[in-house]
């Protein structure tokens, strides 16, 4: 096994180019601890896929310690841990921060951009390879104005910016949106985006266009995904700027999506798909099984002493990591990234 570092800015760009050219997408797996990082890395390695691990504002708070709740501290700590342990896996891994609304920019993305800018100025790699600005809750004009400012900062730090144009329904990290017609980005929204941010000339960015996406768990039929919305926008904007599939797209709220919906979205230019709800369950389910079947070992029932081998956190922790890793493998297979690692 050859030691590999976290993807450099150049390799990260190459990953996205390869995905666009090869019609596949990278799973972006939310992590919140060393265990979930290990699980994601193991899954990507088993699938032979490069990949993305990402930290939400809530995940970053948790990573700093539940009594501390410092988003920057948690994000830096988890990123540094991932940077070290990723060296032992034969795939490229990029570090990303997930949804950051306007009221958290000054306490999350902007300080992290500053850290990376200082690192780059000193000849080092940026700490993160991409950051997300979630402007879905503000008017489009304001969303793109802030995106333009952040894109300039990100470009200086050799970082890719992710933006969201449209609204993802459901709830994630305390941000909730209704399920209605706002879940579908329009062609006009796409045209406004390229007018403000360009097509890479002002810095590279990736775009979450919404086509009925909803965060969290939902029953089949309650949400209507329309991947063809992506094609309509790509075609219209592509004709305007003279470029085929001008947007590098991100698929949010994909838990519970059908294989057909995922495949169609990738065909229309999705190169990154966020996965959190499904991997959370895949991590927790084996732990529940362990606790139920070995209850008299993990609990000191009737004044007995229990079984240290059963309640050792490593015993059930390995099961949790294994369950989550297998879900990551499944995601790589669904998104066609399995076996495509640039490391061969």
Q: Where are the alpha helices (DSSP H) in 269-312?
A: 277-293, 295-298, 308-311
- The answer to whether 143 and 155 are in contact (CB under 8 A) is no
The three state secondary structure string of 207-258 is EEECECCECCCCCCCCCCCCCHHHHHHHHHHHHHHCCCCCCCEEECCCCCCC
Adjacent-strand bridge partners of 206: 162
* Degrees, nearest 5: CA angle 258-261-264: 145
- Choosing from 17, 50, 98, 103, the catalytic residue is 98
Phi-psi region of 6 (alpha: psi -120 to 50; beta: other; left: phi over 0): beta
Tokens found for residue 326: 């297998």
What is the distance, to the nearest Å, from the Cα of residue 82 to the centroid of all Cα atoms in its chain?
Answer: 15
- Distance CA(175)–CA(189), nearest Å, equals 22
Catalytic site residue 98?
Answer: yes
**Residue holding tokens 């590098």?**
248
- Distance CA(67)–CA(58), nearest Å, equals 13
Adjacent-strand bridge partners of 175: 172
Nearest-10 crossing angle of helices 109-121, 140-156: 20
- The answer to whether 99 and 134 are in contact (CB under 8 A) is yes
Residues marked as catalytic: 98
């Amino acid at each position: 096994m050859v030691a590999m570092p976290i993807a450099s800015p150049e390799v990260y760009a190459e990953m996205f180019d390869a995905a666009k050219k090869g019609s596949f997408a990278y799973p972006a797996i939310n992590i919140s601890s060393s265990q979930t990082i290990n699980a994601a890395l193991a899954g990507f390695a088993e699938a032979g896929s490069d990949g993305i691990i990402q930290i939400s504002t809530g995940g970053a708070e948790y990573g700093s310690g539940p009594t501390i709740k410092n988003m920057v501290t948690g994000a830096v700590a988890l990123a540094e841990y991932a940077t070290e342990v990723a060296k032992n896996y034969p795939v490229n891994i990029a570090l990303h921060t997930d949804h950051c609304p306007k009221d958290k920019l000054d306490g999350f993305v902007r300080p992290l951009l500053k850290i990376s800018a200082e690192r780059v100025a000193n000849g080092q790699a940026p700490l993160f390879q991409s950051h997300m600005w979630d402007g879905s809750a503000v008017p489009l004009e304001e969303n793109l104005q802030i995106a333009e400012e952040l894109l300039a900062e990100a470009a200086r730090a050799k970082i890719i910016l992710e933006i969201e144009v449209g609204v993802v329904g459901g709830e994630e990290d305390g941000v909730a949106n209704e399920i209605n017609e706002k879940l579908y980005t329009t062609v006009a929204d796409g045209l406004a985006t390229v007018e403000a941010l360009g097509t890479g000339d002002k810095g590279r960015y990736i775009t979450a266009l919404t086509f009925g996406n909803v965060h969290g768990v939902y029953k089949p039929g309650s949400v209507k995904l329309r991947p063809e919305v992506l094609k309509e926008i790509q075609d219209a904007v592509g004709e305007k700027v003279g470029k085929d599939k001008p947007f590098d797209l991100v698929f949010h709220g994909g838990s519970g999506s059908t294989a057909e919906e995922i495949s169609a979205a990738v065909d229309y230019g999705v190169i990154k798909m966020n996965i959190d709800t499904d991997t959370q369950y895949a991590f927790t389910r084996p732990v529940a099984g362990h606790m139920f079947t070995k209850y008299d070992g993990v609990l000191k029932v009737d004044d007995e002493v229990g079984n240290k081998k059963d309640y050792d956190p490593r015993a059930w922790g390995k099961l949790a990591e294994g369950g989550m890793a297998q879900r990551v493998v499944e995601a790589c297979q669904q998104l066609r990234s399995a076996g495509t690692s640039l490391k061969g």
